[in-house]
Structure 1
Amino acid sequence: MIFASGSGTNAENIIKYFKDSDKAEVAAVFSNKRSAKVLKRAHDLDVKALHFDRDALYHSKEVFNLLKDMQPDLIVLAGFLWIFPKAILHEFHNKVINLHPALLPKFGGKGMYGMNVHRAVVEKKEVETGITIHYVNEKYDEGEIIFQASTPVDPSDSAEDIAEKIHQLEYEHFPKVIENLLFPSENG
Structure 2
Amino acid sequence: MRLLVMASGNGTDFQSIIDGIKSGYINAEIAALISDKEGAYALKRAADNNIPSICIPKKKLKGSFYKELTKAVDEINPDGIVLAGFITILNEEIVNKYQNKIINIHPSLIPSFCGKGYYGINVHKAVIEYGVKYTGCTVHFVDAGADTGPIILQEVVKVEDNDTPETVADKVLKLEHRLLPYAVKLFAEGRLKVEGRKVIII
Task: Report the count of equivalent residues.
Answer: 186
Query: Structure 2 length normalisation: TM-score?
Result: 0.86
- Alignment match of 1:131 (pick from 134, 137, 160): 137
Residue 153 (structure 1) aligns with = 159
Residue 74 (structure 1) aligns with = 80
Residue 162 (structure 1) aligns with = 168
Q: 1:62 Cα shift?
A: 3.3
Q: 1:170 Cα shift?
A: 0.5
Higher relative contact order (CA 8 A, sep 6+): 2
Residue 84 (structure 1) aligns with = 90
| RMSD over aligned Cα atoms | 1.7
Residue 181 (structure 1) aligns with = 187
**Equivalents in 1 of 2:86, 2:168: separation in Å?**
20
Residue 52 (structure 1) aligns with = 56
Within-5 A mapping of 1:20-39? 20-21=23-24, 23-39=27-43
Residue 11 (structure 2) aligns with = 8
Answer whether contact 2:139 2:179 (CA < 8 A) is retained. Answer: no
Check 1:124–1:185 CA distance in 2 against 1; reply closer, same or farther (3 A cut): closer
Q: 1:164 Cα shift?
A: 1.1
Residues 117-166 of structure 1 show CA distances to partners (whole Å, capped at 9, x for unaligned) of 11111111111000011111222111111111111111111111111110
Check 1:155–1:57 CA distance in 2 against 1; reply closer, same or farther (3 A cut): same
Check 1:127–1:47 CA distance in 2 against 1; reply closer, same or farther (3 A cut): same
**Equivalents in 2 of 1:36, 1:45: separation in Å?**
15
- Which ranges of structure 1 fall in alignment gaps of 5 or more residues? none
Q: 1:185 Cα shift?
A: 4.9
**Equivalents in 2 of 1:15, 1:57: separation in Å?**
27
**Equivalents in 2 of 1:150, 1:74: separation in Å?**
26
State the secondary structure of the residue aligned to 1:130: strand
**Equivalents in 2 of 1:57, 1:136: separation in Å?**
19
Residues 29-58 of structure 1 show CA distances to partners (whole Å, capped at 9, x for unaligned) of 100111111101111111111101344541
State the secondary structure of the residue aligned to 2:54: strand
Bigger Cα displacement from structure 2, 13-22 vs 32-41: 13-22
Q: 1:87 Cα shift?
A: 0.5
Answer whether contact 2:99 2:143 (CA < 8 A) is retained. Answer: no
**Equivalents in 1 of 2:187, 2:113: separation in Å?**
25
Query: Structure 1 length normalisation: TM-score?
Result: 0.92
Higher strand fraction (1 or 2): 2
State the secondary structure of the residue aligned to 2:29: coil
- Which ranges of structure 2 fall in alignment gaps of 5 or more residues? 193-200
Percent of pairs with identical residues: 38
